[in-house]
């Protein structure tokens, strides 16, 4: 592989072995050429220190993709994740601060004890649906459904729109041919919800976004809510799924399902280091031609951060204690001014979901070899398609 040959981060080969792909990229140094979709190239930061430097450098790099996206075919499946919208994700400076304040202030109104109760209630309801059967697909029947139940409480999503919400978020993450249609359907659901709350406000996130002192215009409200939904549901789903797989396959957690010493909190923290649910993102664009950690970058060129590759390079050696999630150094939440504003709710959802499941179904085991599990293709996420398990049937829940 020459210095100009990009490595594809899409398709089943990458989904099956992302760590092997990251290792092959290291021949290029801290920044490597990749292809995100057919004909769509980018530079991927795979070095830990370089990633931090990029995430914190608002002088050299912008988050606004509008110049870059004119160079990409408008039907590219990558655009639903990367094309400009008036949101905190694609803004800089005062505009970013205004949008982010609306998000963080609204999320801050969700009380942790209320959230934990909502997650516990939803988890128990889902577990009851399959506990007596002795088997389940923990992705489709649990990890994908639980955040949705919580979101329905936060956003007041009608039950008939729940499946559209999940499909819209997952479709844009997959970056497949239907990504644009999936995102458009997600926006349509949110648009109708916003119109309803303007007429009939409630005590929910949509109403709080509308009423926020930032004075967001209607499209700004829709886009901030769409961002919050997509940035919350898919990563939470994959964090739960990846952590459950970790606990089911790592011998150190064998006792955890029986009340052992290794906890859900520790499993989640290890997954955030080793297999983060969002593996590659944080799109940036140089404001001018520059050299960054030895790589020549053109103004407006797409530069992404690989949280997964940077973490693999910098994580403590196996057998060493990892830092606790609250004070860790991994990059799964990104860093700098665009670091994830919802890390505490996300952790609470994932920890509670896993604790509820493992406290009821204490003898779960995979029904296939881990190598037989399939991962959803796409350059951005690390997402299982299924997680089949068996356990002793449990009645009377």
Q: What are phi and psi of 99, to 5 degrees?
A: -65, -45
pLDDT band at 184 (very low <50, low <70, confident <90, very high): confident
- Which sequence spans correspond to the domains of the chain? 7-390
Token duo for residue 266 = 């520790």
Token duo for residue 189 = 């659901």
Looking at residue 26, its pLDDT comes to 96
Looking at residue 135, its pLDDT comes to 97
Please check the confidence at residue 255 and state whether its pLDDT lies above 80.
no
Q: pLDDT for 224-236, tens place per residue?
A: 999 998 888 889 9
User: Which candidate, 49, 5, 10, 62, places its Cα nearest to that of 311?
Assistant: 49
The pTM assigned to this predicted structure is 0.90
- Tell me the average pLDDT of the chain: 89
Question: For 7-390, CATH number?
Answer: 1.10.630.10
Please check the confidence at residue 94 and state whether its pLDDT lies above 90.
yes
Looking at residue 258, its pLDDT comes to 47
Looking at residue 178, its pLDDT comes to 75
Q: Where are the beta strands (DSSP E) in 13-84?
A: 31-37, 40-45, 61-62
pLDDT band at 286 (very low <50, low <70, confident <90, very high): very high
Please check the confidence at residue 16 and state whether its pLDDT lies above 90.
yes
Query: What average pLDDT score do residues 52-79 get?
Result: 95
Please check the confidence at residue 160 and state whether its pLDDT lies above 50.
yes
Looking at residue 327, its pLDDT comes to 41
99 within 8 A of 227, measured Cβ to Cβ: no
Q: How far apart are CA 31 and CA 3, in angstroms?
A: 10
């Amino acid at each position: 592989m020459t210095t100009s040959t990009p490595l594809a981060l899409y398709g089943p080969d990458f989904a099956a072995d992302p760590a092997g792909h990251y290792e092959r990229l290291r021949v290029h140094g801290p920044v490597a050429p990749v292809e995100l979709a057919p004909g769509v190239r980018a530079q991927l930061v795979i070095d830990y220190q370089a990633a931090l430097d990029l995430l914190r450098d608002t002088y050299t790099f912008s988050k606004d993709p509008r110049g870059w996206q004119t160079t990409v075919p408008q039907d590219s499946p990558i655009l639903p994740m990367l094309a400009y919208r008036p949101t905190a994700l694609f803004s800089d400076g005062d505009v970013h601060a205004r949008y982010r304040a609306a998000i963080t202030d609204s999320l801050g109104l969700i009380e942790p004890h209320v959230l934990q109760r909502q997650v516990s209630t939803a988890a128990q309801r889902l577990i009851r649906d399959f506990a007596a059967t002795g088997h389940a697909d923990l992705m489709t029947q649990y990890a994908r459904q639980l955040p949705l139940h919580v979101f329905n409480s936060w956003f007041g999503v009608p039950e008939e729109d729940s499946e559209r919400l999940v499909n819209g978020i997952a479709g844009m993450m997959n970056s497949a041919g239907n990504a644009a249609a999936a995102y458009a359907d997600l926006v349509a659901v949110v648009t109708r919800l916003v119109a309803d709350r303007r007429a009939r406000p409630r005590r929910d996130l949509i109403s709080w976004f509308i009423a926020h002192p930032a004075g967001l215009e209607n499209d700004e409200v829709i886009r901030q809510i769409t961002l919050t939904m997509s940035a919350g549901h898919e990563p939470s789903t994959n964090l739960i799924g990846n952590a459950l797989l970790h606990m089911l396959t790592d011998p150190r957690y064998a006792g955890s399902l029986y009340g052992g010493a290794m906890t859900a909190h520790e499993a989640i923290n290890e997954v955030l280091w080793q297999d983060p649910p969002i593996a590659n993102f944080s799109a940036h664009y140089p404001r001018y031609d520059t050299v960054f950690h030895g790589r020549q970058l053109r103004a407006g060129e797409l530069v992404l951060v690989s949280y997964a590759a940077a973490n693999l390079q910098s994580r403590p050696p196996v057998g060493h204690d990892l830092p606790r999630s609250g004070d860790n150094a991994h990059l799964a939440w990104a860093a700098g001014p665009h670091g994830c504003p919802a890390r505490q709710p996300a952790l609470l959802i994932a920890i509670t979901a896993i604790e509820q499941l493992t406290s009821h179904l204490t003898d779960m085991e995979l029904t296939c070899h881990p190598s037989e599990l399939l991962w959803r293709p796409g350059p951005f996420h690390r997402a299982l398609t299924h997680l089949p398990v068996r356990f002793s049937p449990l009645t009377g829940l």
